[in-house]
Amino acid sequence: MKRNVTIHDVAQAAGVSGGTVHNALYGKKGVSDAVRKNILRISDELGYKPNMVASALKRKPRKIIVSFPEPKGDNRYYYTYLWKGYREFTEELLSYNIEAIEVPYNDTREKSFTTGIMRVMRQFDDKVDGIITGGRFFEDALSTLKYMEKHQIPIVMVSEEATNIKCLSCVQSNHNTDGRLAAELLSAQLRGEEKILLCAGDMLLPSNRLNAEGFEAYLRDNACTCGLVEIYGVDVYSQIVSCLKTDPDIKGLYSVNARCSLLLARAVKELGLAGKVRLVGTDLFPESAEYMRRGVIQNIIHKGAEHHVKQGMRILLNYLAKKEEPELSYYLDKSIVIFKSNLEEYFKG
């Protein structure tokens, strides 16, 4: 019968004391990064499983902030799934004695993010152990993240990156590749000088900007002959309708974000263009799935927001519980291209 590996076995293999192994595995001070990484590697190779949960329960609860835009109104199409991904992780946080403080904010109002975050910071005298966040940030929000960075609070970003902010890690889809995927799908189905209407979204959001740039780059790099009509912003329904009514050469449509995908689908349906134009949308949720079932949307570039949050939460948890640095500062996840034929495999509920 194989005996259990002990902390003494790890210490002997690493050539250090049992106390050094204990400090390394439980994130305590007094161990260099190089020694800690070596001990973690050896413990993994030997199959040693430290009781991280029992250790966590002996200390005071750690506090992390979870802050994403409120999943209200049109934000529900995407940010609902960020919150859902986090809430599916809450039981594991509790088992590690980590308390999550939810700070939803209004991403259309300046100071909303800052007001909520600084209220929590004051409440706990700046003694917060981490934050996971994402969304549209105004300048004041970036200043608040910079304040947290100066207080050495680990920051994990999800779905968006923050300019000039040093993050523990950033988890998002490869927005540029998403745009290129959509361009390849549409351009292959168009003929001659037929045009594509691109809803390029909010250029202040890196995700929107990079997505649109990827779309444009694919058409340019592959010498596509189709024309391109671009509109910007999020309240663009009237512009979409005007373009479709006045330019019969528009046969392909794409939106870089979930909200404008529905605006495109609504316009196609109301103008009786379903089946006459090809529409590629972004993100899978009940409304976009229903439009696909009805033949209004042909493809969806699905980013998997829930998975991004869970990966971000795992990175933050491992760092707090084990002092385990993430392997990458940026995790660019692969998106899924959904067709009507595989829709039900990905959509549930």
Give the distance between the most distant pair of CA atoms in the chain. Answer: 78
Per-residue confidence (pLDDT) for residue 27, from 0 to 100: 66
Per-residue confidence (pLDDT) for residue 324, from 0 to 100: 83
User: Do the two domains 7-50 and 175-304+339-346 of this chain adopt the same fold?
Assistant: no
Q: How far apart are CA 133 and CA 154, in angstroms?
A: 11
- Is pLDDT at 39 greater than 70 in this prediction? yes
What is the CATH number that goes with domain 175-304+339-346? 3.40.50.2300
Per-residue confidence (pLDDT) for residue 61, from 0 to 100: 81
Read off the tokens for 202: 């909010």
Residue of 34, 41, 2, 35 lying closest to 19 (CA atoms): 35
Each domain of the chain, given as residue ranges in start order, spans: 7-50, 57-174+305-333, 175-304+339-346
- Is pLDDT at 26 greater than 90 in this prediction? no
Query: What's the pLDDT tens digit per position in 83-133?
Result: 999 998 887 887 778 889 999 999 989 999 999 999 999 999 989 999 999
- Is pLDDT at 35 greater than 60 in this prediction? yes
Query: What's the pLDDT tens digit per position in 254-306?
Result: 999 999 999 999 999 999 999 999 999 999 999 999 999 999 999 999 998 99
More confident residue, 339 or 41: 339
For a pLDDT cut of 70, what percent of the chain falls above it? 95
How does residue 182 score in pLDDT terms, banded at 50, 70 and 90? very high
- According to CATH, the topology of domain 7-50 is 434 Repressor (Amino-terminal Domain) (1.10.260)
Top CATH class of 57-174+305-333 equals alpha beta
